[in-house]
Amino acid sequence: MGGSEALALLRRRWLLLVLLLAVEVVTVGALGANASPRYWVRSEVVFVGPGKIAVGVREDSQTAGLVNFAGSVAAAIGDDGDDPGLNSASAPLYGIGVDRGYSVQLPNAGGQWVKSYTKPVLSVEVVDASASEVAVTEQLIDNRIVRAARLLQDRLDIPAKERIGVDVMSGRGPIVYVGRTRGGMVRGYAALTIVIVGVAVAVTAAADSHLRRRESRLLDQRRTRVE
């Protein structure tokens, strides 16, 4: 469609074009309003041997036992069932479409088919609509982990000096905003505007073509009757 044809179409069907644009803009605006911001954090809760302080995950003679204990804690808090480990390279929660939720996982250093658990840590992820809600949920999860670790050792009557410790602070990550950015929103709305205008023009052109053919047939019928 050339420029002159587009102008002629606009003059003939401007009202239809305006109505279509209004409907599509309202629809896009409603969808955008429903897209809430998202904040996310990923932290590691570290399990340490009796009397030790967590300064990062390190290899030692107790690592295997600590890893097994971390898996037992994950299963005890009920987030991961019989198989708590997911691949450590898996997408974050917000990357798989979760807007609000959390996960507690024993990191899998292996692959999809061969799993390998080598770190005595639990990976905690939280995503929510505000940083404060993320912080509250993260603290609640940390409390659940500490409580589960204590109860597991209580049941075994493990003396205090021989107990596995839980460090929820050294591996705590920052809460970051992962929702829509202003620049991304501007680019997105600009692209949507182009698409909306294109669709509206195409629909208007198709409707105009149909109406003109119909008008032509009606004129032909009237001319035939007169003759």
Predicted confidence (pLDDT) at residue 88 exceeds the cutoff of 50: no
What is 166-195 written as a DSSP string? EESSTTPPPPEE-S--HHHHHHHHHHHHHH
- What lies within 8 Å, CB to CB, of 61 at 6+ separation is none
Q: Are 196 and 22 in contact (CB under 8 A)?
A: no
Answer with the residue of higher pLDDT: 51 or 168. 168
18 or 34: whose pLDDT is higher? 18
Identify the band that residue 219 occupies on the pLDDT scale cut at 50, 70 and 90.
low
Please report, for the chain, the start and end positions of each structural domain, with discontinuous segments joined by +.
Answer: 3-35+181-226, 39-177
Residues 40, 46, 51: CA angle, nearest 5 degrees: 150
Average pLDDT estimate for 110-119: 76
- CATH, domain 39-177, list 3.30.70, 1.20.140, 3.40.1010, 1.20.950: 3.30.70
- Choose between 152 and 83: higher pLDDT: 152
Mean pLDDT of 22-48: 74
pLDDT at 83: 38
Q: Please tell me the predicted confidence (pLDDT) of residue 171.
A: 79
- What is the pLDDT at residue 188? 59
Question: Mean pLDDT, the chain, as a whole number?
Answer: 74
Among 5-14, 30-39, 78-87, the range scoring the smallest mean pLDDT is 78-87
